[in-house]
Chain A
Amino acid sequence: MSRPAAARSTRRERRLDALVSYVLLALATLYALFPVAWMLSTSLKSEAEAFGLPVRWIPQRPTLAAYVEMWTLKPFATYFYNSTVVSGATALISTAVGALAGYGFSRFRFRFRATLLGGFLATQMISGVLVIGPYFQLLAAVELYNTLTGLVIAYVTICLPFAAWMSKGYFDSIPRELDEAGLVDGASRLQIFLRVIMPIALPGTVATFLFAFLLAWQDLLWAISLISVDEKRTVTLGVAFAVGEFVIKWPMLTAACLIGSLPTLILYLALQRFYVEGLARGAVKG
Chain B
Amino acid sequence: MRVGRTWHDRHLGVLFVLPATVMLVAVLVFPAAVTLKLSLSPEGGLASWTLTLGHYRAAFTDPVLAQAFRNTFAFVAASLVGHLLLGLGLALALNQALPGQTLFRLVALVPWTIPDVVAGIVFRWVFNPVHGSLNPLLQQLIPGFPPDFSWLSSPALAFPSVIFANVWRGYPLVMVMLLAGLMAIPRELYEAAAVDGAGRVRRFLHVTLPGLSTIILVALALDMVWEFRRFALVLTMTGGGPGTLTEVLSTLVYKSYFQFFTFEYASAVAILMSAVLFVLSVPYIVLVGRERT
Contacts and interface: CB of A to CB of B under 8 A. Distances in A.
Interface of A: 1, 10, 13, 17-18, 20-22, 24-25, 28-29, 31-36, 38-39, 42, 50-51, 53-55, 57, 97-98, 100-101, 103-105, 107-111, 113-114, 116-135, 137-138, 153-154, 156-158, 160-161, 164-165, 168-169, 172, 176, 179-180, 183-184, 189, 193, 214, 217-221, 224-225, 235-236, 239-240, 243, 250, 253-254, 257, 260-261, 264-265, 267-269, 272, 275-277, 279-280, 283-286
A225 to B, nearest CB: 6
Given A39-B122, A214-B113, A253-B121, A183 B3 contact: yes
Interface centre among B122, B181, B183, B236 (most CB of A within 10 A): B122
Contacts of B266: 133
B277 A125 contact: yes
A269 B113 contact: yes
Chain A interface secondary structure, helix, strand, loop or mixed? helix
B3 A180 contact: yes
B28 A169 contact: no
Given A17-B96, A160-B23, A250-B131, A28 B90 contact: yes
15 contacts: A1-B197, A28-B104, A53-B130, A108-B9, A109-B10, A129-B273, A134-B30, A134-B34, A156-B23, A189-B16, A220-B235, A225-B257, A272-B105, A276-B180, A279-B177
The list of the 8 closest CB pairs from A to B, nearest first, reads: A108-B13, A104-B16, A21-B93, A134-B31, A280-B180, A220-B232, A134-B34, A131-B31
Contact of A123 (B28, B249, B258): B28
Given A24-B90, A154-B27, A183-B3, A261 B12 contact: no
B28 A131 contact: yes
Contact of A113 (B13, B125, B273): B13
A265 B31 contact: no
Interface in B3-55: 3-5, 9-17, 19-21, 23-24, 26-32, 34-35, 38
Nearest to A184: B1
B228 interface: yes
Contact residue range for chain B?
35 or more
Contacts of B108: 25, 28-29, 32
Contacts of A156: 23
Interface stretch (B56-64, B149-157, B285-293): B285-293
Interface in B149-181: 168, 176-177, 179-181
Interface in B244-282: 249-250, 253-254, 257-258, 263, 266-267, 270-271, 273-274, 277-278, 281
B136 A25 contact: no
Interface centre among B3, B9, B111 (most CB of A within 10 A): B3
B225 A124 contact: yes
A240 B232 CA distance: 9
Nearest to B9: A108
A107 B176 contact: no
B98 A243 contact: no
Contact of A275 (B15, B23, B176, B200): B176
Contacts of A28: 86, 89-90, 104, 107-108
Interface centre among A35, A122, A128 (most CB of B within 10 A): A35
Contacts of B235: 220, 240
B145 interface: no
Given A157-B23, A269-B109, A257 B274 contact: no
